[in-house]
Structure 1
């Protein structure tokens, strides 16, 4: 484990807030999921030659209760190097629910989307993809990278929801009890009793180190997204039953344990954490980085659970540095083989 290096690549200057990227439905096992695409823009320097610039692919996986829109700003920055794809996990965003919620269902959906991304025509076709996951999406990404290293170029984990065998105090009590029979329905009713504005305010307080950093336009987008979610009959089930699947995965032992999976990851990895994360203990950051065989660590001061939203530039620079170093290493190996 080493400290994360930050890329000095020239990034797009902040301007007007970017709307969510467009997307389309992609077939996966048992149904289809919605996938947004952030097209590669190449280097932003006026004298840069786009023809010789790296063009790779990345897939972004959101956390519990999130959606592909969580990656709007980070994907825009990383477009200097990546064609970016962000999926709505089954039951979230615009994706229909699976027949049964479980970590393995989410893992399979991500594998299916990765295979689809790899197969897309154009620059980068056939090459492994840079996989970036947050929270639940981080846990899912660990499983994917361990099981299908052929699809993954690098792995970035932002506040990954690794097993801790206890529920963080920040969770609502009704959600914390989802393992008990009958309680998911109670939690769904309780969630439905709060307005979209109330729930968004609660999420901001819980997920951000400093909620005042969130632009008003992003808050309004989140409220509208919450309203859209409320119109879906499966919205409450997606949250509570995915959380139940998460808790069930925490009890797995042996080869199915997520920490064992992390030890089996062979690709270069980056662990990103905010030191004000109220949902997943920041103390897990160095532990996870130490378990991953080839890793680097970035702990962001004053940042909460969603570094890609609250601090997109330092997060982007760490991800870019990981990709740059992986590419340089690959070039060295190729040169030695010639």
Structure 2
């Protein structure tokens, strides 16, 4: 494993960077070279030495920045790192072009193995939730606890509002969408994404909105942006169709780690009705429902998510169950 560090932007990449990457106070970025993939890793200085490691995995179209609020909340209980999946954030595309859920999981496993940070407290949102589930199922030795925020697990009846995202995986749709929306401003695009992902987009601060616009502008200039989006969306759809031992629900049943499940009542991408099914599939699970949250509860209510994680740490290893609705 090779690594380069910087207080602002990692130095190593196979493609030129087009703009600075935002690094929050107390955070740093580094670029890690692994077999077949280079990952950008965002870390936060823990409150003290010796805290157990945690790794965070973002969703489709997201980046490690999505976890910054929660990483700050948990700085006193875990030593936090968040990865940019291949082709997202500041990580270049994978050498083999594999954007499947398995491909992303392989990248996470390679990082945990190379960094020697397992077993870690593993967090995942949306696509990252599917990736984290697969990691926990196939490499239980790497996962201490599993926290899933609106994980992208197979649904028979997809919400209507989630259909356009799924269609990105159809060959040619991403290129068509790019042509049809070429006149859209970054501000319009960000408002659309926030309207889809947040329970109440009005709660986003002007500063957070501006930062999101700047990040989108940067990423839209990357030559592989839409390819990474389309292929990863296709990877989710393909994972939904897998049966047998490779099916995500079957793998959820194999997870041994204590699992925290967080679902938002206003989620427009992952059906809220899937919460109970997930709680039944993961054998050692604790379910927390946030009626006012959308798809990214860790960004909307990081304090509530952090509190639920602390409760997971406090419960006996063999305890599970369902927590009452959490309201902020």
| Matching of residues 1-338 of structure 1 within 5 Å | 19=25, 21-42=27-48, 55-98=51-94, 99-119=97-117, 127-171=118-162, 173=164, 175-190=165-180, 192-325=182-315
1:104 deviates by 1.2
The CA distance in 1 between the partners of 2:178 and 2:157, in whole Å, is 21
Question: Given the superposition, is the C-alpha separation of residues 192 and 143 from structure 1 closer, same or farther in structure 2, using an over 3 Å criterion?
Answer: farther
Contact 1:39–1:79 at 8 Å: present in 2 too? yes
TM-score (norm 1): 0.82
Aligned residues: 295
Cα distance in structure 2, aligned partners of 1:65 and 1:240: 10
Equivalent residue, structure 1, for 2:11 = none
Q: Which has the higher contact order (CA 8 A, sep 6+)?
A: 1
Structure 1 partner of 2:3: none
Change (3 A) 1:328 1:178: closer
Q: Distance in 2 between matches of 1:205 and 1:178?
A: 18
Distance in structure 2 (CA, Å) of the matches to 1:36 and 1:238: 20
Deviations 1:231-276 (A, max 9, x none): 1000111111110111011111111100000000001000001111
Aligned to 1:4: none
TM-score (norm 2): 0.84
Question: Unaligned 5+ residue runs, structure 1?
Answer: 1-16, 43-50, 120-126, 330-338
Structure 2 residue runs without a partner (length 5+): 1-22, 320-328
Secondary structure in 2 aligned to 1:22? strand
Q: Deviations over 1:13-45 (max 9, x none)?
A: xxxx95583211112331201000011114xxx
Equivalent residues of 2:63, 2:85 under 8 A apart: yes
Q: CA RMSD in A?
A: 2.1
Deviation for aligned residue 1:187 = 3.0
SS in 1 for 2:32: strand
The answer (yes or no) to whether the contact 1:18–1:73 under 8 Å persists in 2 is no
Structure 1 residue 191: deviation in Å? 5.1
Distance 1:193 1:19, change over 3 A: farther
